[in-house]
Copies of this chain bind each other. A is one copy, B any other.
């Protein structure tokens, strides 16, 4: 057996999320399993670093799997890109130590939420940005975001009906970066996230930005541990899983890593 990790990019629009569901559901995990079966004849179910919801994109989802046959990682990456559909691609494939588990071994994740904050809609950004047509008080949102970081009980931000051992998570960073044209990017970097947590944080920050909620109310909102007390779940298509962190990066600093390119951005 040989163990592999694959770094996946996908446009989430036409997927019902990462995780394999019933018949007729198009999922990223299902497409990857099918591609691996086509290439190797083996029936393996790749394990993702976590589920992404229906419509959520990924720049760098990570999945692990083991194959009976030995494949050169570069060859497997090219072969996967040859059989995967156009909206999902393998950025890199790496050999990993036996037992590497993309889910269990992950020590952090980075998400980016994109907002288009102009009154008029933007057809060119419609696939990746949530359109918020009313003015947002970005500074108040920034204040609120800071109050939501750290090790906290995020139960108020967890999807209703979830069942996890603990709702305490550590959020290293939650920050807003406004762009020149009306874009706002919200970066969330944490050790782990509850179901819908990023989108619920964003939905709450949007209420702060709209003046319907005070930035200073964040600590009491966390303390209430009540999903009904927080804002609505922000739309899925604004969210991208940017990166998954491991104690030792299975992919770097290899060919697929941006840092291995020279300052002009050329391939090396």
Which single member of B120, B128, B266 contacts A91 (CB below 8 Å)? B120
Name the interface size band of chain A. Answer: 35 or more
B178 touches A266 (CB 8 A): yes
Is A200 part of the binding interface, using a Cβ–Cβ cutoff of 8 Å?
no
Known: A179-B265, A182-B261. A88 touches B123 (CB 8 A): yes
Cα–Cα, bound, A121→B89 (Å): 7
User: Within 8 Å CB of A119, what residues of B?
Assistant: 255, 267
> Is residue A101 contacting chain B, with contact meaning CB distance below 8 A?
no
CA distance A118 to B258 in the complex (A): 10
Quick one: given A264-B139, A265-B183, are A123 and B77 in contact (CB under 8 Å)?
no
By Cβ-Cβ distance, the 8 closest A-B pairs, closest first, are A178-B265, A135-B267, A11-B123, A178-B264, A87-B123, A89-B123, A89-B121, A181-B258
Q: Is A10 an interface residue, CB under 8 A from the partner?
A: yes
- A69 interface residue per 8 A CB criterion: no
Q: Which residue of B lies closest to A259 (CB)?
A: B180
7 A-B residue contacts at CB 8 Å? A10-B123, A11-B124, A88-B123, A89-B120, A138-B266, A178-B266, A184-B265
Q: Are A11 and B126 in contact (CB under 8 A)?
A: yes
User: Which B residues lie within 8 Å of A264 (CB)?
Assistant: 138-139, 178
- Say yes or no: is A96 at the interface (Cβ < 8 Å to chain B): no
> Binary interface profile of A, 246-268, with partner B (CB < 8 Å = 1, else 0)?
00000000011010010011110
Which B residues touch A117, using CB under 8 A? 265-267
Cβ of A265 and Cβ of B181 under 8 Å apart? yes
Q: Is A19 an interface residue (CB 8 A)?
A: no
